[in-house]
Amino acid sequence: MKLFISSQIPKTILEDLKAVYSLDYHDSLDPLSPEEIKERIQDADALLCPLSDKIDRDILDAGKKLKLVANYGAGFDNIDIGYAEEKGIAVTNAPAPSSAVSTAELSFCLLLAAARHLLPGDQLLRQGEFKGWRPTFYLGQQLQGKVLGIIGLGHIGYEVAKRALAFGMEVIYYSRHRKVDLEEENLTYVDLDSLLEKSDFISLHTAYVPALHHLISTQALEKMKETAILINASRGPIVHEEALVQALKNKKIAGAALDVYEFEPKVHPDLLKMDTVILSPHLGNATYAARMEMGENARDNLLAFAQGEKLTNQIN
């Protein structure tokens, strides 16, 4: 059986797959174009791809022999799941317990860095502008006593909440499914408007579905405090980037820290120019632990497929 791997993966995972499959391996971090994927997928029985590869109808149609798309990652909104099911193509994802912890740590890193102006301060010092300690120089926000609003209290949101409580923050949350059992741990459920109005920091951790496109819109941003900071380490399209740019320009909110982007890997050019924004290149679960767990899950799905066994993480 032939496996097409469209991105560089850890060597140990590659060796395990090489023992079972004939491989077409794109050993690079540079993404393939849709045309290149369509060309190389034609005679593949299975595809292993990162969630940054958009696997749409055209690509699924190009895979004449394709029977499995294994996503290297917990998400799967990059794949046309419904059309894959119509064509009899199985789709699997690769969740990893370490992913929630890693993404939560990165989210809290962004929150801290934004609260204390860490990155622009680093740049200021490197440019020779640091003249010494002064009582009113580069003041930021202390976290203790501040309100963190979490939108989406899944595994990642809960891990962020635990870290915020350890810093002495008040944590409120809004989620499509209320987590009453977690409210005993000093987490307070509120409606979305109340969260937007009360929070000093808002951290997004909801899974993406079309209904949440531009959840953070002009209207939502106008409800936030002028001192508020928005953190997004979930999915880019949840935030309307143009609306965010205008809110920052007009000082409707104080800042933002982003790990994901509406048109990723493209970033709104105005965001690149703002010192009130921290930009991270989608590093949420980019730790050795999380990526190896994902790789092992993806490998196990592919090995099960080759051996005619039940798929562990089938989505459709």
Which amino acids are annotated catalytic? 235, 264, 282
Q: Residue 113 and residue 157: Cα distance in Å, rounded?
A: 18
Nearest to 292 by CA among 16, 1, 4: 16
Burial (CB count <10 Å: 0-12, 13-18, 19+), residue 269: exposed
Q: Residues 61, 62, 63, 69: what is their CA dihedral angle, to the nearest 10 degrees?
A: -70
Counting DSSP H helices and E strands in the chain, the numbers are 11, 12
Nearest to 274 by CA among 252, 249, 304, 299: 249
Beta-carbon contacts of residue 215 (< 8 Å; ≥ 6 apart): 151, 204, 206, 238, 239
**How is residue 251 written in tokens?**
């000082």
